[in-house]
Structure 1
């Protein structure tokens, strides 16, 4: 069986251990951020959801689709929220394909700590562009993940792509 290692992920998970209240929720705080700010990872705001870059991406263009309502339980999402998550996911994949031309896409959610959720208190969905050969020896041997594109460059391109969708 092949294994996909992500040793950098533990630093990401550890960074949220003390953030347990809604006021400290990175996703809830993002709702009020200015998309044009270089300190914000937001790409686009919709009525019920946000699209943002992952600060600790598995690959360039790793997006998060985040319902605005603070909940950890998938089953509490309304039909409107679920429909918008799916519509925004489709738009996000379209934008990623236009600007990055990936060979594939991973899409999904880690529901709960046991499932690998780094931020388990606010449900979110991952969209990870993939390319043939995008995993190599660096993360395993060097404990370094090579990201081929700057987050701000990726953000700018995605904002432009969303503007025409």
Structure 2
């Protein structure tokens, strides 16, 4: 895990898709080893983290700790916790934004699916502020936050949304 963490966090402000593809080649999941200081909330089965390549400000991810690809493989206990975390995050965002979106990323990445880049089930909870990514190029061109910015973002979200 230490080797993975050092390797993963060496990447700076590269385009998001470049980093994801490099990690995929060496069989490393971008969600399986999150730094503790970047975790907003930790349940028994899920982590809540800021999006590393956000579509918009206050973009949050809810990620199972267990590496799974399909929603249908979650246990009843995992589903209950996931539902509770989505509800908490949506309510927090609704205090600041009128509308909130929930996106499910389920299944394996396939070439033609827009915005799907990581083979690990996860949920995006984000303000609905007109985020419209309609092409794969737009999705791929998002920039990944460097380590310092990502940690600052996590700390700011903890103050705002916990």
Normalising by structure 1, we get a TM-score of 0.66
8 Å CA contact 2:16, 2:142 repeated in 1: no
- Correspondent of 1:84 among 81, 84, 103: 81
The question of whether the paired residues in 2 share the 8 Å contact of 1:22 and 1:28 is answered with: no
Other-structure match for 2:57: 60
The answer to whether the 8 Å contact 2:62/2:124 transfers is: yes
Aligned to 2:125: 127
With CA pairs under 8 Å and 6+ residues apart, which has the higher RCO, 1 or 2? 2
Report deviation, 1:158: 3.0
What SS does structure 2 have at the residue aligned with 1:71? coil
After superposition, give the CA deviation of every residue in 1:90-111 in whole Å (9 maximum; x if it has no partner): 111122233xx11211102122
Q: Counterpart in 1 of 2:117?
A: 118
User: Between Structure 1 and Structure 2, how many residues are aligned?
Assistant: 134
Give, in angstroms, the shift of residue 162 of structure 1. Answer: 5.0
Given the superposition, is the C-alpha separation of residues 55 and 103 from structure 1 closer, same or farther in structure 2, using an over 3 Å criterion? same
RMSD: 3.1
What secondary structure is seen at the aligned counterpart in 2 of 1:19? helix
SS of aligned partner of 1:87: helix
Match of 1:20 among 13, 19, 24: 24
Q: Which runs of 5+ in 2 are unaligned?
A: 1-14, 133-137, 144-148
Aligned to 1:97: 94
Deviation for aligned residue 1:156: 3.1
Q: TM-score, normalised by structure 2?
A: 0.67
Distance apart, 1:71 and its partner CA: 1.1
Paired residue for 1:156? 155
Cα distance, 1:15 vs. partner?
Answer: 1.4
| Residue 21 (structure 1) shift | 8.2
Give 5+ residue unaligned stretches, structure 1: 1-10, 36-40
Report the alpha carbon displacement of residue 22 of structure 1 after superposing the two structures with TM.
Answer: 9.5
